[in-house]
Structure 1
């Protein structure tokens, strides 16, 4: 059967919608690298999983990653930051019960001392916040996220975003 023609917009849109419905979906996470005046990085302690994390979270359906990051900062920390610069994209393959995922890390800038010291969780998803040196943060974070943090720090220094494949430099970028 021949697909409909764009000359018939109703049939064409129905055809495209059918194709869209069968396409795979990607999970998207958007984290933010926020520093204090001493160069330490902000970590958050989620209540729904063990360990520490970078602030941010999962994008909602049809939500751009940078807007997901901004929304998560507002909801979880009551924090408003300027538009974000991309630092890292990491493709994470399927693992455990999870499908693959695209993880973004954006630059949230440097908080002045008064704002950094007043930062507290604003909802039940977080139990704590802390600023840590990069080396201490890497020890507190899961290995894949620690590597993502390293890449974000490099991207800050070079001004060039990094693409990772499961937390490692993509082979063409090594």
Structure 2
């Protein structure tokens, strides 16, 4: 038999009850990336040192960090950029795979860098070996599987003017 919930009129008992329920709920990993362009319309990709292949700039959110703050922090740490996301392009639920539980991945619109910022861009920490701008076609060919599908959806969302929801990189019904 399930115990009766305490009355919200008893704040201490009520908060303890809610905390117990919160502790039993699933935790999600959160990734936040950005679609960032140069004045010629090329997109920025980064080459991480800790995994194979190119990726969108961004990274994992820290505990209780909003995704848009996480992408801003990652851009500052890894590229020395201060970019405020202009809007949401993609939310992608990523199914468990390999040793990883599921995750929620966001892609934000980072807008267009000035030519001066684009020309001077280089990694500022050891998590990236390279940062470069590519045409949409070149970028798509450098990105693998799920991240390529997320990138393509982000470009579509930017063109459509509305965010897209994906399930494991595929548009959800």
Classify the TM-score, shorter chain: over 0.9
- Please point out which of 45, 62, 65 is paired with 1:63: 65
User: How far apart in 2 are the matches of 1:164 and 1:32?
Assistant: 16
Q: Tell me, what secondary structure is at the counterpart of 2:93?
A: strand
SS in 2 for 1:75: helix
Query: 2 CA distance for matches of 1:145 and 1:84?
Result: 20
Listed as ranges, the matches of 1:20-35 within 5 Å are 20-35=22-37
Q: Name segments (4+ residues, structure 1) moved above 4 Å.
A: none
1:66, 1:84 within 8 Å by CA — same for their partners in 2?
no
Unaligned runs of 5+ in 2: none
SS in 2 for 1:160: coil
> Would you say how many aligned residue pairs link Structure 1 and Structure 2?
171
Deviation per CA, 1:115-148, whole angstroms, max 9, x where unpaired? 1010010111111101011111111111111111
CA distance in 2, matches of 1:142, 1:153: 16
Conserved 8 A contact 2:85-2:111 = no
SS at match of 2:75: helix
Residues in 2 aligned to 1:100 and 1:143: alpha-carbon distance in whole angstroms: 16
Are the counterparts in 2 of residues 29 and 104 from structure 1 also a CA contact under 8 Å?
Answer: yes
Distance 1:83 1:167 in 2: 21
What TM-score results when the alignment is normalised by the length of structure 1?
A: 0.96
Structure 1 regions of 5+ residues with no counterpart?
none
1-side partners of 2:74 and 2:157: how far apart?
22
Q: CA RMSD in A?
A: 0.8
TM-score, normalisation: structure 2: 0.96
SS of corresponding position for 2:96: coil
In the TM superposition, residue 84 of structure 1 has moved relative to its aligned partner by 2.9
TM superposition shift of 1:81: 1.4
Quote the Cα distance in structure 1 between the aligned partners of 2:9 and 2:19. Answer: 16
> What is aligned with 2:47?
45
Question: Which residue pairs with 2:96 in the alignment?
Answer: 94
